[in-house]
C-alpha cells in the first residue's frame, strides 16, 4: 500500500499517552466514578462570576477569540506587576511546555528533569528528539542541586522544575529557587512550572519582579481557579524570550469562552481565596483519613495530597486499583520510590467522604 | 546578559504573524468595527441547541474535557460513515495542520502549495524548516496539475490543497480531486483542507467512503457551524496514519465548552442547512453589491465572496483600507494576481447593508 513518508522522529516515537483520562476508564468499566480525585481538578469550581461570563459568552462563540489575548495579558500584567510583553497565553501549560521545548531543544540536546516528574513534559521532549536526563528525587522533593549538577555536567539546554512539585506536592521556598537561578549556567533555560502556586504559601513564592532571562514561569487557570476545561495557561518571562513564542505558537488556538472565563476568574480574587481555604481544609482532611488508616500523608502545598502507602509500587498500585474498582478515581506516581504512594486531589466534602468510606476495605483488599 | 540557547531554526524564523486579528485593529483605531466581514466567521451564529449546551457546560468547566474526545469522534464517525479511528480532533484546523507538518516534514523537505494560499499552513511549514514550493493559481483556482507536477519534480513530502479554496472561494468537484489523488506519487501526503466544504455543493464533494492512505481531510466547526471561538476541528484519514497524531498531539488541548458545543452543533443539521441557505443568499447579495459598483465577484462555494476590484494590488489595498477606515473589517489575498481582490465574508443582512452603503464612497476614495 502506498504510504506517506513519516519523519524518522515520528516513526521512532512510542505510542505513549501521558495520562489516560477518567472518561476512558469509565467507558472501560461501564460505570462513572463517584469521586473524581485523580486529575487535580478543582471540584470547588470556578468563580460564579466566571460561570456567568462563560454563559454569556456562549452566544458570541461564532467569533474567534483575539489572537493576541490582549485583554487577559493586560489584566495579568497588572496582577503580577509585569509588562504585557512578559506574558504569552497558551492552550494550558501543556501547550506552552510543548512550545518551550520547540524553542530550545534540537535533536540530541539534553533536558534535565526529576525522575518521576511531569510525564507530559517528557512527552514533548521526546517529540523534539531531546535526550532526557533524570535526577532522582531527594526526600520526595526535587533535588535542585542534583538537577543543576546534571545540567552542568551534561551541558543541558533545558531544566524542568515544578514548584509545588507534582506528583509529590512538596514545596521549595523562594530562597531555594533563587539559589538555583543564581547558579544557572549560561545557555540553559529553566522551565519553572508553577501550576500549583496558587495553593502554596504566598509569602514564600519567588517574587515576580525579577524576570530572569533564563527562566520561564508557567501559571494556569486549571487548578485553584477551577477552570481545567477552559485550557488557559500562561507563561511569564523576559520580553525578548516571550516574543519568540510568536514565531511558533498557534495564534488562533485560544477558545473564546475559556478566555472570557479566565478573565472573570482572575478578577474574582475573593473566590480564589475562598477556594484556597477550602483546599487547605481538604488537604488536612485527606491527611487525617490517611493517618487514620495507618498511612503517611506527605505535606503538600498543592491541591492534592500524595499518600505514602508504606510499601512498594506493587502495593500502591493495588491500592489505586481497588479505589478505582470502588469508583474513586485517583492516580499514582510512575517511578520508584515515588510509586509507593497514591495521589488524591482535594475534592469536596462529599468526594472525600467516599474516599474515607472506601479506604479501609481498599487497604484490606490490597493487603490480601 | 546570559541567554538561553534558542534553536538555530527558531532564531532563523521571521517574526511573522499569519493574521493580525480584528481586535488588534480595533485597538489601534480606537474604534470597533460595525461589520465584521474579514475572518470568515459565521455571524449567523451556531445552533441555539449548541448555545444552550455551552451555557449548561460552563458550570462543568472545572473538569478537563475527555482527552480522547470519544463522544464527538463517535458522533462524527456515524455522521461521515467512517470508523472512530479515522478521526482525530484538534484545536481547530490550524492546530491539526501544525501537527500534520510535524508528522511528515523534516528539515529541507519540500512542501507544495499554491502561491497565495493559506498563510497559516506556510507558517507551520517554516516552523518545521520545510522548503515551500509555490505554484501559481490558474484562473483563480488552485492548479491541481501544476501542484502535482511540482510535487513529482521536487520529490515533495506534502501537498496542500484547500477545497473550496481560500482566499478565492473557487471549488473543484470530486472528479478533479479524485484525479489528483489517483496520480499522487508514492510517499507524498495530500493535505486536503475542507474548512469550507459545508457550503459547497454537497453532491460534488469527494465522498468519504474511500479514505486514501495518502490523504488527510480537515473539517471544522468554525465556519458554517458558527463556532470559530470553540476551536474544534478534526482530521479524517486512514486509521494507521490518524493514529500517529497520538504520538505528538497535545492530549489535553481541547476545551470542554467548545467540545460540548461542537457535539450539539453536529446534532442540529437543521440549523446547519438553514445557515447554509443564508450563506448562499449572502453570497448572492455580496455579488450584487459588487456588480452594482462595477466590480467582479468571483463565484464562490465558501462562506465568503472574493471580489475582483479590476486593477492591481495597490488599488485593492486602498479599497480594503478605505473599508476598514469606515469600520468594515475585510481582508484581501497577499499575492499577485490574487491581490487585485478583496474578500468579504457572508454576514447578516445588517452587516452587508453597511458594506453596501460604504462601498461607493470607498471606491471613489480609492480611485483618487
Taking a C-beta distance cutoff of 8 angstroms, is the pair A199, A168 a contact? Answer: no
User: What's the pLDDT tens digit per position in A319-359?
Assistant: 999 999 999 999 999 999 999 999 999 999 999 999 999 99
How much is the pLDDT for B171? 98
A28 and B CB contact within 8 Å:
no
Measured CA to CA, the distance from residue B188 to residue B149 in angstroms comes to 12
How much is the pLDDT for B93? 98
Q: Which helix (H) or strand (E) is A329 found in, with range?
A: strand A328-329
B108 and A CB contact within 8 Å:
no
How much is the pLDDT for A2? 77
B230: nearest CB among A14, A39, A61: A61
Average of pLDDT values for A255-265? 98
Task: Compare all CA atoms of chain B with the CA of A94 and give the residue at the minimum distance.
Answer: B250
User: What's the pLDDT tens digit per position in B5-46?
Assistant: 999 999 999 887 889 999 999 999 999 999 999 999 999 999
How much is the pLDDT for B236? 98
> Which one of B92, B238, B252 would you mutate to disrupt binding with A, by most A Cβ within 10 Å of its Cβ?
B252
Percent of chain A with pLDDT over 70: 100
Three-state DSSP at B306 gives: strand
Q: Is the CB of A230 less than 8 angstroms away from the CB of B256?
A: yes
A258: nearest CB among B7, B17, B255: B255
User: What's the pLDDT tens digit per position in B274-303?
Assistant: 999 999 999 999 999 999 999 999 999 999
B303 and A CB contact within 8 Å:
no
Strand order in the sheet with A215-220: A87-90, A233-236, A215-220, A189-193, A158-162, A110-114, A131-135
Buried b (16+ CB within 10 A) or exposed e, A182-193: eebeeebbbbbb
Query: Which residues, 6 or more positions from A152, have their beta carbon under 8 angstroms from its beta carbon?
Result: A185
Q: Which of A332, A328, A304 is nearest to A316 (CA)?
A: A332
**Phi and psi, residue B235, nearest 5°:** -130, 135
Domains along the sequence of chain A with CATH:
8-45+270-367 (3.90.1150.10), 48-268 (3.40.640.10)
Measured CA to CA, the distance from residue B247 to residue B251 in angstroms comes to 9
Q: Is the pLDDT of residue B351 over 80?
A: yes
Query: Which residues, 6 or more positions from B109, have their beta carbon under 8 angstroms from its beta carbon?
Result: B128, B130, B131, B156, B157, B158
Amino acid at each position: 500500500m502506498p504510504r506517506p513518508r513519516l519523519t524518522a522522529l515520528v516513526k521512532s516515537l512510542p505510542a505513549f499517552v501521558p495520562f489516560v483520562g477518567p472518561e476512558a476508564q469509565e467507558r472501560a468499566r461501564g460505570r462513572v466514578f463517584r469521586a473524581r480525585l485523580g486529575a487535580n481538578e478543582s471540584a470547588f469550581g470556578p468563580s460564579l462570576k466566571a460561570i456567568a461570563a462563560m454563559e454569556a459568552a456562549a452566544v458570541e462563540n461564532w467569533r474567534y477569540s483575539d489572537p493576541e489575548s490582549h485583554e487577559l495579558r493586560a489584566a495579568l500584567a497588572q496582577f503580577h506587576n509585569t509588562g504585557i510583553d512578559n506574558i504569552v497565553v497558551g492552550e494550558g501549560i501543556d501547550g506552552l511546555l510543548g512550545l518551550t521545548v520547540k524553542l530550545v531543544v534540537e535533536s540530541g540536546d539534553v533536558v534535565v528533569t526529576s525522575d518521576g516528574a511531569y510525564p507530559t513534559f517528557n512527552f514533548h521532549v521526546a517529540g523534539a528528539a531531546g535526550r532526557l536526563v533524570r535526577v532522582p528525587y531527594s526526600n520526595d522533593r526535587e533535588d535542585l542541586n542534583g538537577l543543576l549538577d546534571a545540567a552542568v555536567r551534561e551541558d543541558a539546554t533545558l531544566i524542568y522544575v515544578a514548584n509545588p512539585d507534582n506528583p509529590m506536592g512538596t514545596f521549595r521556598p523562594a530562597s531555594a529557587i533563587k539559589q538555583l537561578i543564581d547558579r544557572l549556567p549560561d545557555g540553559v533555560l529553566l522551565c519553572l512550572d508553577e501550576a500549583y502556586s496558587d495553593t502554596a504559601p504566598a509569602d514564600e513564592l519567588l517574587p515576580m519582579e525579577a524576570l530572569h532571562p533564563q527562566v520561564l514561569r508557567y501559571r494556569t487557570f486549571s487548578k485553584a481557579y477551577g477552570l481545567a476545561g477552559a485550557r488557559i495557561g500562561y507563561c511569564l518571562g523576559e520580553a525578548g524570550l516571550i516574543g519568540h513564542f510568536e514565531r511558533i505558537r498557534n495564534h488562533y488556538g485560544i477558545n473564546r469562552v475559556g478566555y472570557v472565563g479566565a478573565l472573570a476568574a482572575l478578577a474574582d480574587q475573593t473566590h480564589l481565596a475562598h477556594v484556597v481555604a477550602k483546599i487547605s481544609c481538604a488537604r488536612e482532611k485527606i491527611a487525617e483519613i490517611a493517618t487514620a488508616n495507618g498511612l503517611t500523608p506527605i505535606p503538600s502545598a498543592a491541591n492534592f495530597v500524595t499518600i505514602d502507602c508504606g510499601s512498594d509500587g506493587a502495593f500502591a498500585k493495588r491500592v489505586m486499583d481497588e479505589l478505582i474498582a470502588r469508583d474513586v478515581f485517583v492516580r499514582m506516581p510512575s517511578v520508584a520510590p515515588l510509586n509507593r504512594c497514591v495521589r488524591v486531589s482535594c475534592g469536596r466534602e462529599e468526594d472525600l467522604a467516599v474516599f474515607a468510606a472506601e479506604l479501609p476495605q481498599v487497604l484490606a483488599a490490597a493487603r490480601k
